[in-house]
Structure 1
Amino acid sequence: MANTGDIHVKELNKRSSGQAFEIILTPSTPDAKGAFPLSPTKKKETSLDEIKKKLEAADERRRSHEAEVLKHLAEKREHDKEVIQKAIEEKCNFSKKVQEKMNQKMEANKENRTARMEALSEKFKEKDKKLEEARKNKEAMKEGEH
């Protein structure tokens, strides 16, 4: 094993493919060894109580998440109901306005028609009077000739 400062080289058994070496780097300070452990730290044994606590915490998180989702869905449903109710009200208001306008137009048309009919009736009465006067004049003229 050769030692050159911070590097140790250890020759391993010769192999058919060639030689093998293991290179070991030594820390420059003695307290630096703890900084990079060669094997991972072993987890401490978890007890049954700790496992139960973790399961309960996970279950509580799941229930809390489900409650949040249900709350969100309920709020969304309530919002949808409000939107639908508002749309129905607007439709009813629109229908009422259209109905009122239609009734006003129909009433105006009826009044206009009545006024036109009365005007025509008056005109025909005037013509009838003139025709009657013309007949009377014609008859009077015929009688005057005889």
Structure 2
Amino acid sequence: MAKTAIAYKEKMKELSMLSLICSCFNPEPRNLNQYTYDDIEVRQINKRASGQAFELILKPPSPVSEAPRTLASPRKKDVSLEDIQAKLEAAEERRKIQESQILKQLAEKREHEREVLQKALEENNNFSKMAEEKLILKMEQIKENREAYLASLLERLQEKERHAAVVRRNKEIQEELSG
């Protein structure tokens, strides 16, 4: 549908140009009330205050009518082998530049990852050292507490032995006096 509308627009442009050319060859006034061009018929309607009015009658295209005319695309200039080679070299250079930029970004990313990993390892080592130092300190405290406990037990034992020795001596003295 859109192609048909475009084709009819093109034909309308041709009509005005055609009527101008025809008026140059044929100075006699033509009957502008009706005009036929291929599968379009143009009829003039009574003039209005705003200007001229036309009625377009579109006929179904006949099988022999030529295909809708389209604007020809501008011809491409002939491309030489040197131009193609230059374009290929420029594309290769752009690819190399892009590849080097990507490699540079990857290297920077790897370096950043190494730095982060190194920092994490250092923090882990510091944490391990602190944990080890705390554990050693705790074990020393436990050892000191155990030694203090054993020393207090030993002292009580020695006190009990002294008391027992005093009690034995008193008993011996009492037996000697009584006996």
**Shorter-chain TM-score tier:** 0.7 to 0.9
The residue identity in structure 2 corresponding to 1:126 is E
Match of 1:85 among 85, 103, 118: 118
Question: How many Å separate the matches in 2 of 1:19 and 1:44?
Answer: 36
Is residue 104 from structure 1 mapped to residue 146 from structure 2 by the alignment? no
Partner of 2:53: none
- For structure 2, the residue ranges without an aligned partner over 5 or more in a row are 1-18, 20-31, 40-59
Question: How many Å separate the matches in 1 of 2:114 and 2:147?
Answer: 49
Q: TM-score, normalised by structure 1?
A: 0.75
Partner of 2:62: 20
Match of 2:174 among 132, 136, 141: 141
Q: Deviations over 1:102-146 (max 9, x none)?
A: 110011111111111111111111111111111111111111111
- 1:80 offset after TM fit, Å? 1.8
Identity %: 44
The residue identity in structure 1 corresponding to 2:37 is V
Structure showing greater relative contact order (alpha-carbon pairs closer than 8 Å, 6 or more residues apart): 2
The residue identity in structure 2 corresponding to 1:63 is K
Q: CA separation of 1:62/1:8 partners in 2, compared to 1, >3 Å: closer, same or farther?
A: farther
The residue identity in structure 2 corresponding to 1:128 is E
Q: Deviations over 1:29-65 (max 9, x none)?
A: xxxxxxxx62111111112222122111101111011
The ranges of structure 1 where at least 4 consecutive aligned residues each deviate by more than 6 angstroms after the TM superposition are: none
The residue identity in structure 2 corresponding to 1:90 is E
Q: TM-score, normalised by structure 2?
A: 0.62
Aligned length: 127
Question: How many Å separate the matches in 1 of 2:89 and 2:36?
Answer: 52
Partner of 1:10: 38
- 1:20 offset after TM fit, Å? 1.2
RMSD: 2.9
Which secondary structure does the structure 2 equivalent of 1:42 belong to? coil
Question: How many Å separate the matches in 1 of 2:108 and 2:61?
Answer: 73
Question: How many Å separate the matches in 2 of 1:84 and 1:38?
Answer: 65
Question: How many Å separate the matches in 2 of 1:38 and 1:84?
Answer: 65
Which secondary structure does the structure 2 equivalent of 1:68 belong to? helix
- For structure 1, the residue ranges without an aligned partner over 5 or more in a row are 12-17, 24-36
